[in-house]
Chains A and B, each alone.
Chain A
Amino acid sequence: MKLLTWPTQFLEFLGGARDHPPAGFPALYHPWFWGIWWGALSLLIYVFCGQSSKFIYIDF
């Protein structure tokens, strides 16, 4: 179970559920990391936020 503790805390920190990161995280305090992180998340949201009900795909 301990094996899962660090990834869990890591994901909770990324998601904002924890204020403190797990040990071994300091390198990621660089603002570039957070810029890339939120940029990538925004792109993912953009790609997958399309409507799916009654979506008629027409390509002609």
Chain B
Amino acid sequence: MQGKLLSTRRQFFAALLVCLAILAAGNLVVQRLTAHTVSRRLVADARAASSAQIIALGNSLMRSGFVPEAFAPPVPPQEQSPAFNLAMGASTPVEQLLLLRAGLGSFSKPRLLLYGFYDFQLTEAVTLSNADLIGNHDILYYQESRFARRYFSMTPYESAAFEATRRLPMLAERGAVWAKVELLRRYLGGQGVPAEARNPFGRVADFTLLEAKSREEFERHCAVASQAELNAAVAEIIREAQERGMQVVFIVMPLPPRHVETFYDTPAWKAYQRHIEQLLAAQNVAYLDASRWIPDGSKFGDALHLTPQGAEEFSRPLGARCSNPGNLSACSSTEK
């Protein structure tokens, strides 16, 4: 009996082989199921939008806030708008740079880049760990990953893990699987309790976590950021757009009145604004402060994002000011 219980080396390796075969099959399944993640769809859309002339880039604020048809109505109406929304939710300037490069490879006549941002996105260095690279960050694993590594810092250990992870779809796309499990968790956790407030982007309360905890903390952050240069990915976005002959406009995106009153109505934010305005002017980049354009809090779905109606109300006047790349004088006026 004892002899039977002891696994021989041959049995062990046979079992290991079967186990690895199952994991390899799992790897293939994940690869197939994640062939159309948000970032992959966006890259594919960018490659197909060869006629786009005006490109909106940024994170979820631009994704949810920019309506190409409201910004630049197509002529004739059945045609596509010359504007294209290339922004992606939950992204840093590094992912946005990769998307822009994917787009620039196909856009035949790009003329204007509208880059939407909020808070300290322009000057904050991008530091990531592999644990951060889930969801839309997955683009870093598959789209010009060697190029992308120049623009975010990682410890040597994390860097080695990044190299290993990007070669295995099961690891690189783990966030897509976990997201499904998370939805199941939330569904089960929500049984018998009042429903949480949600909007098309997810749980409303989640986005409050992305704001500073207090005005004091925000002001301290402003003081530090006011000494910083543009981060490397943002500088590269500007360089590559201008190299293709595009005009570049950086836009402080509309934010809810609560965010503006708590954080932006401060001397520290105004000093930081002056600082980034100078940095951008030195790069021949226009700067537009639209943070107060939508004063009605009901036009926001959560602590940061515009509702579809709010997005229309932002995009239409933005188009009136900025849809003519030949004359951007109205597009660079700062409103403070």
Give A residues with C-beta under 8 Å from B: 19-20, 26, 29, 31-32, 34-36, 38-40, 42-43, 46-52, 54-60
- 10 A-B pairs closest in CB distance: A35-B18, A50-B178, A39-B22, A31-B14, A34-B15, A35-B15, A39-B19, A31-B15, A31-B11, A56-B206
State which of A20, A35, A55 has its C-beta within 8 Å of the C-beta of B22: A35
Give B residues with C-beta under 8 Å from A: 1, 4-5, 7, 10-12, 14-23, 26, 38, 60, 63-64, 89-90, 131, 134-136, 170, 174-175, 177-179, 181-183, 185, 200-203, 206-207, 209
Asked, given contacts A32-B15, A35-B14, A43-B23, whether A50 binds B182 with beta carbons under 8 Å apart, the answer is: yes
Q: Tell me the minimal C-beta distance from B128 to chain A in angstroms.
A: 15
CB contacts (< 8 Å) of A46 on chain B: these are 26, 170, 174, 177
State which of A34, A36, A57, A60 has its C-beta within 8 Å of the C-beta of B63: A60
Q: Tell me the minimal C-beta distance from A32 to chain B in angstroms.
A: 5
State which of A34, A42, A52, A54 has its C-beta within 8 Å of the C-beta of B209: A54
Q: Tell me the minimal C-beta distance from B246 to chain A in angstroms.
A: 25
Decide if B183 touches A36 in the complex (CB within 8 Å).
no
Docked complex Cα distance between A39 and B29 (Å) = 14
Residues of B contacting A: mostly: helix
Decide if B201 touches A60 in the complex (CB within 8 Å).
yes
Docked complex Cα distance between A56 and B17 (Å) = 37
Asked, given contacts A50-B177, A50-B181, whether A57 binds B21 with beta carbons under 8 Å apart, the answer is: no
Decide if A19 touches B5 in the complex (CB within 8 Å).
yes
Asked, given contacts A35-B15, A36-B22, A58-B136, whether A52 binds B1 with beta carbons under 8 Å apart, the answer is: no
CB contacts (< 8 Å) of A39 on chain B: these are 18-23
Decide if A42 touches B19 in the complex (CB within 8 Å).
yes
State which of A43, A47, A58 has its C-beta within 8 Å of the C-beta of B201: A58
CB contacts (< 8 Å) of A57 on chain B: these are 135, 179, 182-183, 202-203, 206
Q: Tell me the minimal C-beta distance from B142 to chain A in angstroms.
A: 18
CB contacts (< 8 Å) of B201 on chain A: these are 58, 60
CB contacts (< 8 Å) of B89 on chain A: these are 58-60
Decide if B18 touches A51 in the complex (CB within 8 Å).
no
Decide if B64 touches A32 in the complex (CB within 8 Å).
no
Determine the residue in chain B with the shortest Cβ distance to A36: B18
Q: Tell me the minimal C-beta distance from B291 to chain A in angstroms.
A: 22
CB contacts (< 8 Å) of B170 on chain A: these are 46
CB contacts (< 8 Å) of A38 on chain B: these are 15, 19
